[in-house]
Amino acid sequence: MVVNTTKSESLRAKYDLDIEQLDYKYIGQCTKVKTIENILRVLRSGQEGVYPDLVRFTEERLRTLKPSSALLRTEQPATALRFLDSKERDELLSDLTEWKQEVSAADAELKSSESAKEPADQQLPPVRGTVQLRSATVGERKPEPEQKPARIASYDYAAWDRYDVEAQLKLLDESDAPAAPPQPAVQPPSDPAIDDQPPVEGLSAAERSALALREKQKGNEYFRSGDFSRAAVYYTRSINASPTAAAFNNRAQANLKLGKYGSALMDCGAVLRREPNNVKALLRRGIARQMNKDWIKARLDFQRVLELEPNNPQARQHLGEVEKAIIGSETKRSKVLIQEVDSMEEEGPAARPPAAGSSQPRRWSTFEFMREWRCARRSERSAAAMAALLRSVDPDQLTEVLGAELDSALLSSVIRCVDEVMLAQDGPQRCHQLLQRLTDARRFHVVKLLLDARDRQRLQSIAERLWRRGVDVTALERSFLS
């Protein structure tokens, strides 16, 4: 096979790839989406040779890491009308005819109705930059340009004798005086109070929609100018004319700017009742809840936004702020609880609650467990601290406690705890039960693919040590290592 080496080297240099990266093993272990996409571009170009199996393997790997990648999209050519069967063609032509009739009827209704026009006091100003031409009458003469006074010749001594220096200086002073500022073309209304109920009596549905759109556009203009109060009023007028999700959403943003977080929450709720997956409404409701210090509900809104748009920067920023606030509030609450317990009289061993690291199982919520897990992982004796935390979880409730929080870092830490601490202290049956319960957790079959070579070596060592102690590890090896 002849390969164009010059183009191949320039293409790999463009993507900064080595020839060793075009391999099944590297592609299967790589977790960087950008690198997998660049490898797929090089393989599809054919400059390194034609490897259809490797291309398909790379596409499957990319589909696992990022299903929405643009490289996985396939072109679907538009089907011509002549290729449709008679039934589909008749349905398509019928729908097109009905749509034309509806558009024509709505257009005729708007043109024929005189009430669609705005009253005289609501006429909009002329478009900026336009010039109104005035028709010239017969015999009308154009104004002659102003003639400047002739300059006095240097040799005309008689004219210099008649020259009035004081008068000329006065004229110069008048010309240098600052001109009055130009008046705006449209004066704002003297009364800032605006009726939030537009005139909608006798208007058809199409006319109300057109009026609502105009009122919303006025609100947008005031919002861009920084007048959020008037923007909210015009959004209210738009809603009263014809309620739409966009008008509620814009009024929620204006209320956030004005600090009216309760009103913003109600507007976002109105949007979400119409469009449950509206990202802007979810984000704004989360911000309103965050400002009201409703941290838990705000976190749920930001997490939902990130499920719909994983790369939304505002949601990521606010979610980080909410997480810090939750951790801070939990820390303050735990300090208060410790002070209250220390101030009480000891009534016996049963008076104190069991410690988080004790071997006695306790009921954990996902948030509490993950918070303690992160603290244990950052401690100096992280393996022992994480092992003590795992002992406090009932193995039968492990899947419920983890919820959807299982990732490659957590799975790797559990494997390390079992290998370094728990096999020696807790016995083979407890370790086997813990690992077996992990296989039932959500996303386990995806997360196990992200384990590195060191974790797989630990798993093989654990399986061998369990087998030597008489534990059947066939199902465990099939779940983790297959």
Q: Which two tokens stand for residue 88?
A: 């589909």
Tell me how crowded residue 190 is: count the other CB atoms within 10 A of its CB.
Answer: 5
Q: What is the pLDDT of residues 162-193, one digit of tens each?
A: 777 667 767 766 765 555 544 443 334 434 46
pTM of this structure: 0.35
- Classify residue 128 as left (phi > 0), alpha (psi -120 to 50) or beta: beta
Which one, of 286, 208, 219, lies nearest residue 246 by Cα? 219
pLDDT band at 280 (very low <50, low <70, confident <90, very high): very high
Considering all CA atoms of the chain, what is the largest pairwise distance in Å, rounded to the nearest integer? 132
User: What does the pLDDT average to over 10-16?
Assistant: 75
High-pLDDT (> 90) share of the chain, %: 10
Where is 53: in which H helix or E strand?
helix 52-65
Return the pLDDT at 381.
66
Q: What is d(CA 469, CA 467) in angstroms, rounded to the nearest whole number?
A: 5
413: helix, strand or coil: helix
For the stretch 292-326, pLDDT in tens is 888 888 889 999 999 998 888 888 888 888 888 88
Structural contact between residues 55 and 44, judged by C-beta atoms closer than 8 angstroms: yes
Q: What is the pLDDT of residue 353?
A: 37
What was the pLDDT predicted at 1?
A: 45
Cα separation of 9 and 358, whole Å?
60
Tokens 């995806």 belong to residue: 446
CA dihedral for 302, 275, 405, 373, sign (positive or negative):
positive
Count of residues making up the chain: 482
**CB contact burial 220-236 (16+ within 10 A = b; e otherwise):** eebbeeebbebbbbbbb
DSSP 326-383: HHHHHHHHHHHHHHHHHHSPP--GGGSPPPTTSSS-----HHHHHHHHHHHHHSTTHH
Kindly write down the DSSP assignment for every residue of 21-64, as one continuous string.
GSSHHHHHH---HHHHHHHHHHHHHTTT---HHHHHHHHHHHHH
Alpha carbons 319 and 305: distance in angstroms, whole number = 10
> Any idea which residue has 């997490």 for tokens?
303
204: number of CA atoms within 13 Å, CB side? 15
Which of 161-175, 223-237, 351-365, 402-416 ranks highest by mean pLDDT?
Answer: 223-237
pLDDT of residue 345: 38
3-state secondary structure of 426: coil
Say if residue 158's pLDDT is above 80: no
Residues whose CB falls within 8 Å of the CB of residue 361, separated by 6 or more in sequence, listed in order: 392, 393, 394, 397
Place 342 in a pLDDT band, splitting at 50, 70 and 90.
very low
- What pLDDT is stored for residue 288 in this prediction? 92
256-263 own/partner pairs: CB under 8 Å, 24+ apart:
256/284, 256/287, 256/288, 256/291, 257/228, 258/228, 258/229, 258/232, 259/291, 261/288, 261/289, 261/291, 261/292, 262/288, 262/292
Average confidence (pLDDT) over 130-156: 62
Mean pLDDT, range 327-356, rounded to an integer: 46
